[in-house]
Every structure is written in structure tokens, then in C-alpha cells.
Structure 1
């Protein structure tokens, strides 16, 4: 006897008539898109929307008629040309998400929502100008010249040429591999060398910011003394891969997800949507150690702070900091105290303690390892510092503050 198997398709809409079926064509393994997905989830939970969500780009292909796939609505990645070409011809409720600028927001036939690139660039430039820096560089990556995100950033940066108070320069980084990395790094160094100092550089993301910081250290430029860096910040990866915490524009990716989901649900329910395209501007800068405040413009202060940031983990003393400057200890300590309001000893002490606190809150490393990685000579000394400064042990601090 021959048994023939037959695939049975279950239509969940008949079992759960009020449940919406959404396709979210974003990759949760990509940090930027994962943050957008988080915003989508927050909206659905807040509004108590009953949904079934299908993730992934694999349900879209060049040969597929999207009308044959049963969804109530779709949130698509509009930095993906395949998705754009597929969805521009469908009648399904769709919202495209991307990083964009005013120059391209009217390009698409579907509703779109994304980050206002011009507002991000303007915020970074204003930060540089407030610190007395008037030569601004943009470090982007030329992957696909037709990518709407790249177009948006370049349009935003090119618009700076209309400002009379600054000068600008652009570096187009390339995708690299093990063979081409050294050549690309030399291109970056050549560009940095060509910039007047001091200068400020806006960087596309944290990984490229690390490459820029490493290149500056390799050549010997002080960061932030001669080169200041602001990154478009998707997450806090720089806390783990760089010596200095990056100053970054907080990208409102979660808010993009919330707004995209709100627009899609309203369209599915045939409710009024206030606008076809939504641009969300960043609301804050996460200040780190790669930009300088006005008080830090003094060369002695810049050199002291840079040396401490790059070397406190080695357990350095105040005398080593002073020796790196080349002036007498009395002069350096006096000038630093006048400008900063506290001593070099306190700056060194705070750098070590702050690093220990950060590692206690964000890692599972032992207290002994954290003491060594923060520049303390022994675990017992770290305990004494915590007792004096925080009035608790490192273990108690971790228990109360670990995420």
C-alpha cells in the first residue's frame, strides 16, 4: 500500500479572527535593525495589539508575487533595493523604514519613517563649533552609492557647505578584507594628515570610529586635543572595543520602530494617518572622551587628560603623567587645577574608579581581574577605595547595580 503525504495549511485567521499577521522584514542580528524591532515590540505591548509576526527577508524574492502572500501589513527595510522594487508595486499596507533626509523622503510611493540624517549631522557639528572647532570632517563608508541611508547622510553633510562659519572634508571609506585592510588604513591616515588641526570628525558608526581612533593614536594625534570624534551611535559597543568612550549622537532607532508600527496599524485599521513620511530627529548626545569642552582647550589639560585616558589601566602615578608633558610638576599641577577645579591625582583616581564601576555593572569578571584592569595594584586596594568612596564593597556595588 502506498501512502501519499499531503501538506495541510492552517489558516490561523479563522481560529484567531482579531489577530493581525505582520511581516517584519528586518534582521534582528543587525544591531541597527534589532533596535527598530525593539521599538515595534514596545508599541505592540503598549497598545495591547494581538499580532503574529513573521521575521526575515527570505519571504521576499525577485520572482515572487507579494500579493499571493497573506499578510495584513508589512514593515520593510527600505535600504534594501530588492524590497523597494518589490513593494513599490503592491497594494498591501506597507511602511518602509530607513535612515533618510528631507531630500529623499518623497521618493517612495509607500509610507516611510526614519532618522533625520541632517539633524544628526547638524547636532554633531554644533557640538564641535561650541568647542571652538571649525574644520569638520565626515567619515562615511561607500558600499552602495544608491543606498538611501548613504544618500541621506551625504546630502546632509554636503549642505554644510552653505554655512560660512565652518570648512568641511569627506572621507569615503571602503569595505575591506584581510588583504585590503592595511591599504585602507593608510588611506584613512593620509586623510587625517591632510586635515587642519584642531578638527572634528563625524563618523558613520562605532566600528569605523574605532578605526579612526586607532589611526590617530598610530600617527600620534591627540584625541580630543587635535582630533575630536563624534559617532552616530547605534549601541554602546565602543565601551568594549575602544580605549576611550566615544561621544555619540544617540540614534532614535527604537522611536523609528514605534512610529513605523503605529503608522502601519492605523493603515490596516483604515484610520487616519497624519503624514506619509515621518522623520525623527535625535534628542541627545552621549558625551564621552573623544570630544572636548571649552575648559579643556588648554594644551596642558588636553595632554594630561589624554595620557590618563590611555594609560590609567597600567597603574600609572601622577609623576608619570607629569613626565609625559615635559614641564615641571609644579607648573602642570597648578595649571590643571586652575582649569579643571580638581587635581591630577583626583582625575587619575576617578578614571580608575569609574572603570571599575563600569566593569562591575556590565561584566561577570572577578573583582581581582577588574582591579588589575582598572590600574589597581591589588584587589584589597580596590576594596579600600570602594569602602571610602562608595561606602560599600565592590561585590555589594555589583549586586545593586548590575544590569
Structure 2
């Protein structure tokens, strides 16, 4: 069934509260914007995907993120359906008779694992989702893949499922997470199953006074902008090829609406990139004073802190802390604070979403003019020139 003038009614069954789903939807939107396809899109404002919603849909097609519980319902729908989800080593986990666009879980985990290996780490852990009958299949798959990579390399890993994220149980969950982190051998690299879980790790480390990344290096999955905004320490994260998944799913459905048989189509989409932030940039530092100082700087370096405040936090005199910094890093505490502020400013410039005035404020520079002065002195270019070059490199 279709509307006049070739317009098709398409249901997008996604949970817009999830970064993965939002990014897939963006990819679908990109496909529509770059083609002459004309679709009337339906999305539930208050997402609750039930089997009856699928079976009773009176439109022309569906694109949906799926997990095991609704596979049966999808097979009963009498319109073209394209499924989007995670990849599995066990092919029986895929819905039968439906085209399936999958994020490559093996490549996601490999990219994060290799990054932690490259940092010189030798201990590794995985922070998953709670064990429950309805645990998402993709979470189990990522955990299994991580464990397999460690065993292949002859390494021991530590896996923690934690607790569900609820307001009532949040304090107990955080205490348990802190206890787990404190029990791990240090230094250690931890891969979180999602950015949301990675942010929980960052919070628990700060509450337990565990330096990140000096003792715990953290990598997430999703590259969620919301998580970046809520994290004091910039998070390293694997960006899935979700927009490409959305574009591919829309293209497959477009073909099906015009009579193509795509029931056996299965597309594996690799991750787009690894966005490296301070959370995983482990650097072996012998001095515990420097380690604690850098942990403090990563949290508060953009808030106008001075060397004296850093020394107070570490619990030593300014002169002793300066001596350790000179000996260990070959720079002063002030230079380390400035270096941190510049790193944050560079990251914001790469994203291209903030004004110069906003970047100056967020990075602790007293004015835009001072931001320009520091960039010229330290990097030999203006912030604007740096941003233009980064955006040009990204397009190349």
C-alpha cells in the first residue's frame, strides 16, 4: 500500500534514547536527503516496541533495531522489513528470512583491544551489562569476543557485569563498581560495552581516587556526544559505522519496495573510527606524585587551577612536585595544565560544534584573544587555522 505520487509510509522502530539508534536514524535521514526517495516516516514518540505494533502496522515497510524477543513477530509482518543490529559468530542468532544490517562486533572489540595493547598495558578487563534473561545479544557477543582475544594472546582478563542502572540502586551499584576497580591489578585497560558504562567507570574512578588513565585506562563504544559532554576526562571511544548502517538499511528497503528479493541479504559494517581521548592515553609514570597530580589536572585543569592547588591535592610542597615533574615529564606543573587545556581546545575545534568564545570559556582561557595567543605561541597557528586544517584532513 502506498500513498499517491509514490510516497511510501515507513515505520522506524528505534529507541531514540540510545546513541546507536539515533545514529542509525541519522544515516537513514542522510540517504533520504541524498536521493529522490519520498517516504512518510512514522516514529513512536514514547518508544515501546511490542509485537502487536509490528503485526498491526498498516504502512509499506519497516526498518527496526532488533533483539531476540521480537524476531518471531518480525516474521509475521506482511510488509518489507529490514533489521539492524549486531553481528554474531553464530549465524543462527540472525533473524531468518530478513535482510540484516549488522555492526561488526569483532572489529569493534579488536579496535579497542589493540589500542589498549599499543599503550603498553598488560592487564585487561571488560565492563559488561548485568547478567539477566533479557541481556542484549550484542553485549554477550562483545564480552565473548574480548575473552577470546585475551585467551588467544595468553592473557588473563577480568569481566564484571555490574548492576542495572536504576535510581534506587545507584549508590549500591557505584560502591560495588568502585570495589571491583580497586581489586584489579594496576595499571589496567578496561573496555566498556558502551559509552554509558564507560562513563560509570570514569565516575567510579574519580570517587575512588583512582587515576585515569595512569592506573585505569578506559575505552567505550558508541562515541556518544552526550557522554562526551558529561565526562570530565575526555573518553576514548570506538565509533560504530552506524550512519553507514542507516544508509544501507534505507537502500535495501528502497529496493524491496520496488520488488527486489533481499531476504538473504546480510551486510557487515565495520567501525568508522577510534576517537582517542585522555581516558586511555596510558603513560608509564614512576612518580606517584606526578600520577596523582595529572589525575587532578585532567579533572579540573580547565577550571583555572594553579600549581599550588595541585600540590595541595597531592599533599606535597610545590617545590617537591615541580622537581618530580621536571624529572619525570621534563616540564613544569603549569606547562602540564596548559598542555591539558590545549588538548581539550583542540578536541573541541575538531568537533566544529562550538564557537571560539565558548571554547575559550570551556577550556579555562580568560578570553578569545588569550586563546589565540597561546595557540600561536605553542602550536604556531591560530585556533581557526587549526580547525580548518583538521576539517580539511577529515574530508580528504
Shorter-chain TM-score range: 0.7 to 0.9
Q: 2:151: which partner in 1?
A: 162
Q: Secondary structure at the match of 2:161?
A: strand
The whole-number CA distance in structure 1 between the counterparts of 2:373 and 2:147 is: 53
The whole-number CA distance in structure 2 between the counterparts of 1:114 and 1:334 is: 49
State which of 147, 168, 191 in structure 1 corresponds to 2:180: 191
Superposition deviation, residue 230 in structure 1: 0.2
State which of 19, 30, 35 in structure 2 corresponds to 1:47: 35
Q: Secondary structure at the match of 2:166?
A: coil
**Superposed, which structure 2 residues align to 1:133-282 within 5 Å?**
133-142=121-130, 144-146=132-134, 147-271=136-260, 273=262, 276-282=265-271
From the superposition, tell whether residues 233 and 58 of structure 1 become closer, same or farther in structure 2 (CA, over 3 Å).
Answer: closer
Superposition deviation, residue 162 in structure 1: 3.1
Q: Secondary structure at the match of 1:149?
A: helix
Q: 1:8: which partner in 2?
A: none
* Runs of 5+ consecutive residues of structure 1 not aligned to the other structure: 1-10
From the superposition, tell whether residues 92 and 349 of structure 1 become closer, same or farther in structure 2 (CA, over 3 Å).
Answer: same
Deviations 1:324-347 (A, max 9, x none): 38546345314312xxxx654433
Q: Secondary structure at the match of 1:177?
A: coil
Q: 1:74: which partner in 2?
A: 62
Q: Secondary structure at the match of 2:94?
A: coil
The whole-number CA distance in structure 1 between the counterparts of 2:61 and 2:250 is: 10
The whole-number CA distance in structure 2 between the counterparts of 1:225 and 1:365 is: 31
From the superposition, tell whether residues 20 and 366 of structure 1 become closer, same or farther in structure 2 (CA, over 3 Å).
Answer: same
Q: Secondary structure at the match of 1:92?
A: coil
Q: Are 2:372 and 1:383 equivalent residues in the alignment?
A: no
Q: Are 2:80 and 1:93 equivalent residues in the alignment?
A: yes
Q: Secondary structure at the match of 1:113?
A: strand
State which of 19, 28, 33 in structure 2 corresponds to 1:31: 19
The whole-number CA distance in structure 2 between the counterparts of 1:92 and 1:51 is: 15
Q: Are 2:113 and 1:120 equivalent residues in the alignment?
A: no
* Runs of 5+ consecutive residues of structure 2 not aligned to the other structure: 378-382, 392-396
Give yes or no for contact 2:104–2:270 (8 Å, CA) kept in 1: yes
The whole-number CA distance in structure 2 between the counterparts of 1:117 and 1:375 is: 38
Give yes or no for contact 1:319–1:329 (8 Å, CA) kept in 2: no
The whole-number CA distance in structure 2 between the counterparts of 1:343 and 1:356 is: 20
Q: 2:71: which partner in 1?
A: 84
Deviations 1:121-171 (A, max 9, x none): 121111111122122111112275442223322332332353234221111
Give yes or no for contact 1:101–1:153 (8 Å, CA) kept in 2: no
From the superposition, tell whether residues 132 and 355 of structure 1 become closer, same or farther in structure 2 (CA, over 3 Å).
Answer: closer
Give yes or no for contact 1:36–1:255 (8 Å, CA) kept in 2: yes
RMSD of the alignment, in Å? Answer: 3.5
The whole-number CA distance in structure 1 between the counterparts of 2:47 and 2:322 is: 64
Give yes or no for contact 1:98–1:148 (8 Å, CA) kept in 2: no
TM-score under structure 1 length normalisation: 0.79
- Structure 1 or 2, whichever has the larger Rg, is 1
Give yes or no for contact 2:99–2:263 (8 Å, CA) kept in 1: no
Q: 1:103: which partner in 2?
A: 90
Q: 1:284: which partner in 2?
A: 273
The whole-number CA distance in structure 1 between the counterparts of 2:25 and 2:10 is: 12
TM-score under structure 2 length normalisation: 0.80
State which of 321, 325, 334 in structure 2 corresponds to 1:332: 325
**Count, aligned residues:** 372
Superposition deviation, residue 77 in structure 1: 2.2
The whole-number CA distance in structure 2 between the counterparts of 1:69 and 1:345 is: 62
Q: Secondary structure at the match of 1:231?
A: strand
Superposition deviation, residue 46 in structure 1: 1.9
The whole-number CA distance in structure 1 between the counterparts of 2:49 and 2:323 is: 69
* Greater alpha carbon shift after TM alignment, 105-114 vs 119-128: 105-114
